[in-house]
Amino acid sequence: MSSTSSIKHYLLPYNPFNGPSNSKFRNLTINGSEPISASLAIIPAIYGFIAKSSLQIGKKIPRITLKAPAKFPQSLSIGQLALEGVKASPKIGVAVGAQMIGLEKCQNYLENSRFFKNPQKKGNLSSRLLSSGIIGFISSPFLIALNDQTIGNSFFKSLRAITPSKVATTAARETGFVFSLGFSKPLAKKMKEYNDSKTTEKAAYFISGYAGSIVSHPCDTILTLLQKEIKPPTFFSPLNKQTIQRAASVMYRGANVRASTIGVFSILYNSLNKFINREETK
């Protein structure tokens, strides 16, 4: 057999979108539905992210108006809102798509490494948490740019202003978000054991997104404050009940708005992903 035919024989079973059947590239399966689903789901959800950023910096939620042009981010025309969704679409498509694809690959790699090579540790929380942190770090530039967009800054201005503190804050935030989003399908499957319906499934998607958002919200607030060049509050000067309550209050501004938005995003993302993959729904 020639070297060319050997290479063809080696690569032939691999399809980058459907996955390989019997080649050595079995663990490199690429599912194109994740980035497509994420990029579509962000469009109707973008207003919630803009609203939470306004609350985080102490501003009112921007009004939606028919007047064009409106003064963003104090107010938004319907056309501007649609444009913001379209602008956010490729950023979140790349970031979340890469997260959902990369999370499984990274977790599989970690669990097959020397540290995790134990059948009882397969799919455990520590490997998922560590892989969530790694993927969160890798995807942070696009997510920093998306958050900057919600306060009126351009994509390239955001990239030029990236700092180690913003990357670290985003990576910490995304660890919680990716960790929770990765549990959407397992939670839906578990809940459907008690009530097998579409409503139960979508409730599971919402809960996982909402919970992950609440856990990671302080990091999101810190990122927004850093991007607006506002000094984040400290819990420790001086360390007393009033200081902690005041700092916690600032850190959780817009928490419910963001959590609800991510819950809705999670429903849209998983539903679109399921539709694109033509999975059977009941």
In this predicted model, what pLDDT tens digit does every residue of 268-278 receive, in sequence order? 988 998 888 87
Where does the chain have alpha helices with state H? Answer: 3-11, 33-56, 78-111, 125-138, 140-149, 155-160, 164-181, 184-191, 198-227, 241-251, 255-276
User: Residue 238 burial by CB count (10 A; 0-12/13-18/19+): exposed, middle or buried?
Assistant: exposed
Q: What percentage of residues in the chain have a pLDDT greater than 70? A: 75
Q: Residue 22 is which amino acid?
A: N
Which pLDDT score is estimated for 21?
42
Q: Would you give the DSSP letter of residue 72?
A: T
DSSP letters, 135-172, are HHHHTHHHHHHHHHHTTT--HHHHHHT--HHHHHHHHH
Which pLDDT score is estimated for 222?
94
Which range (116-130, 183-197, 248-262) has the least confidence?
A: 116-130
CATH of domain 33-272: 1.50.40
> What span, in angstroms and rounded, lies between the C-alpha atoms of 225 and 113?
38
Which pLDDT score is estimated for 40?
94
Which pLDDT score is estimated for 31?
62
Taking residues 25-41, report their average pLDDT: 71
Model confidence over 58-83: pLDDT tens digits? 999 998 888 766 677 678 888 889 99
**Average confidence score pLDDT of the chain:** 78
Taking residues 34-46, report their average pLDDT: 92
- Beta-carbon-side half-sphere exposure of residue 19 (alpha carbons within 13 Å): 9
Which pLDDT score is estimated for 217?
94
Band (pLDDT 50/70/90 cuts) for residue 101 is: confident
User: Any idea where the domains of the chain sit in the sequence?
Assistant: 1-30, 33-272
